[in-house]
Amino acid sequence: MELYNKTSLGCSKLFTQSYSTSFSKSVSLLNPSIQHAIYGIYGFMRIADEIVDTFHQYPKAKMIADLRTEVFKAISSGVSINPIVNSFQIVVSNYEIPHELINSFLDSMEMDLSKKVFSSQEYSKYIYGSAEAVGLMCLKVFTNGDDEKYNRLKKPAQKLGEAFQKVNFLRDIKDDYLERGRVYFPDIDFSNFTDEQKSKIEKDITHDLQLAHNGILELPRSSQLGVYVAYLYFKELLYRIKRVKASQILNKRIRVPNHIKFLLMLKARLAFWLRLI
């Protein structure tokens, strides 16, 4: 079993590296003792997201339902023949990740199967499950049994996940709206998206990032650098989105060039070494 579990965790790492080079870079800056756990979380999240967004010729609703059944069966039994699910159940068990967070995440994935336009209440529920719950799973790993620290950092962790997700929504408007017909932001008509509406969303994200930054300062050193790099990357991405007119946001997907990502990583390393974070 030791070899199987080790190989399962390796599969989640490979999965993460294949799907997200930027996220993988951030994970690589975590202490090696917790990297495998974050890869395990991301691998499971990626499976669910792929079912929703790319498995168009397959019965998506049944597959998400089956995935929910499979993951809780694996958590109960302590093993799964699906290596990605197996690696996730290892992390859930080792770090006592609440089942409510897993269910909330899968609930949000199910919403993507049927919801196209989100009300304010649905938007909040979706954000919680797809972003805040994932941030809290990672926080469970970062705090590693320190319940006092976990409870103190819950709100900043939720705000960081929330900010990341909202930035992704803005960045991916072209794909979500034009290709999938989804409108996550409530009361927004993207056929008549204004600079004022865009600015309001950006101010909301900026506020979330400010609250999240306070939490990053209190994270254990084992996770602080990796999280700070991700924070700087999304902050830069938001800055670049702000420079684009609302009328143009549907025409292109904003990116952070690789050389800027490299400079942000150097900035983060320097701040970490000088204990400025």
List, for residues 211-232, the tens digit of each pLDDT value. 999 999 999 999 999 999 999 9
Q: Give the pair of three-digit tokens for residue 241.
A: 């989105």
Domain boundaries, the chain: 1-95, 117-277
Bridge partners, 183 (sequence order): 117
User: CA-to-CA distance for 85 and 87, rounded, in angstroms?
Assistant: 5
User: CA-to-CA distance for 166 and 68, rounded, in angstroms?
Assistant: 25
Q: Please state the pTM of the whole predicted model.
A: 0.94
Q: Give the pair of three-digit tokens for residue 107.
A: 């609930």
Nearest of 39, 104, 94 to residue 68 by alpha carbon: 104
User: Helices 120-127 and 99-114 sit at what angle, rounded to 10 degrees?
Assistant: 130
Backbone angles phi, psi at 219, to 5 degrees: -65, 155
**pLDDT in single tens digits along all 277 residues of the chain:** 999 999 999 999 999 999 988 889 999 999 999 999 999 999 999 999 999 999 999 999 999 999 999 999 999 999 999 999 999 999 999 999 999 999 999 999 999 998 788 999 999 999 999 999 999 999 999 999 999 999 999 999 999 999 999 999 999 887 887 777 788 999 888 888 999 999 999 999 999 999 999 999 999 999 999 999 999 999 999 999 999 999 888 888 899 999 999 999 999 999 999 998 8
pLDDT digits (tens, 9 = 90+) for 10-31: 999 999 999 988 889 999 999 9
Q: Give the pair of three-digit tokens for residue 38.
A: 């974050």
> Could you confirm whether domain 117-277 is CATH 1.10.600.10?
yes
Are 167 and 207 contacting, i.e. CB atoms less than 8 angstroms apart? no
Are 41 and 138 contacting, i.e. CB atoms less than 8 angstroms apart? yes
Bridge partners, 117 (sequence order): 183
User: CA-to-CA distance for 94 and 191, rounded, in angstroms?
Assistant: 47
pLDDT at residue 195 in the model: 94
pLDDT at residue 77 in the model: 98
Are 141 and 93 contacting, i.e. CB atoms less than 8 angstroms apart? no
